Amino acid sequence: MSFQNILIQDKDRIQYIIINRESKLNALNQATLAELHTALTQAFSNNNVGGIIITGAGTKAFVAGADISEFAGKDVDSGRRIAYDGQSNVFDVIAGGNKPVIAAVNGFALGGGLELAMACHIRIASDNAKMGLPEVTLGLIPGYGGTQRLTQLVGRGKALEMIMTADMVTAADALALGLVNHVVTQDELLPKAEELLNKILTRAPLALAAAIRAVNDAHADGANGFDTEIEEFARCFGTKDFKEGVSAFLEKRKPEFKGK
């Protein structure tokens, strides 16, 4: 499928989804969000794709925020729809995806951009990255899951400080806070993301998906993460990957997982 605002690049079992609005600092307009929904759902259902790296075109910005011009003139109902559609069609799709998703954060990740990165399962930042949620400077709050995911990652006090001051944090600060997993130079950003994802892709695909579901339920309303873990653990016993993993361990060889 041809996209106008994103680029899709496949490298072995890794699929890159690149926000390609460099002149707009890769801001997320509604058309880009719609394309992201399509690209993500296709990637999660494509057996040739093992995992996804999301990044932004150029070196200045991962995503510098939502396209604020689209918010002008909107009323309460419109605002509710914007947040609901964004969360359910893109950000929750990433977080609940059945394959690992890594954000390679190059430059600014602000507002919706930081929310996009936080929806991913792992975040790697270049050392020039700056992150923040500046929505209160516009009379708004984060609407794409930012209040919830930032709190989960850095704790309530720091999340409230970042949201209420609208201050940006550096890559080094983000690493210290647990907001990102790794910080590397700009030249090392994509190689590091590929290295980490390729390592993950040597593991059992069904077990990876089960781990994502179990970890997500640690924070899901009405869910008991411990119960989810028990159920997902049990289901693994019914997979061919489990049998292959145990056989490979006992035979002292590398397993060959098939995702079955």
Active-site residues: which are they?
115, 135
Q: Give the Cα separation of 246 and 73 in Å (integer).
A: 59
Q: Annotate 209-229 with DSSP letters as a single string.
A: HHHHHHHHTTTSTT--HHHHH
Q: Give the Cα separation of 202 and 211 in Å (integer).
A: 15
Bridge partners, residue 123, by sequence: 103
Q: Provide the 10 A C-beta neighbour count for residue 85.
A: 15
Q: Give the Cα separation of 52 and 257 in Å (integer).
A: 19
CA atoms within 13 A on the CB side of 99: 23
Residue whose entry in the numeric block shows the structure tokens 């016993």: 237
Q: Annotate 1-59 with DSSP letters as a single string.
A: ---SSEEEEEETTEEEEEE--GGGTT-B-HHHHHHHHHHHHHHHH-TT--EEEEEESSS
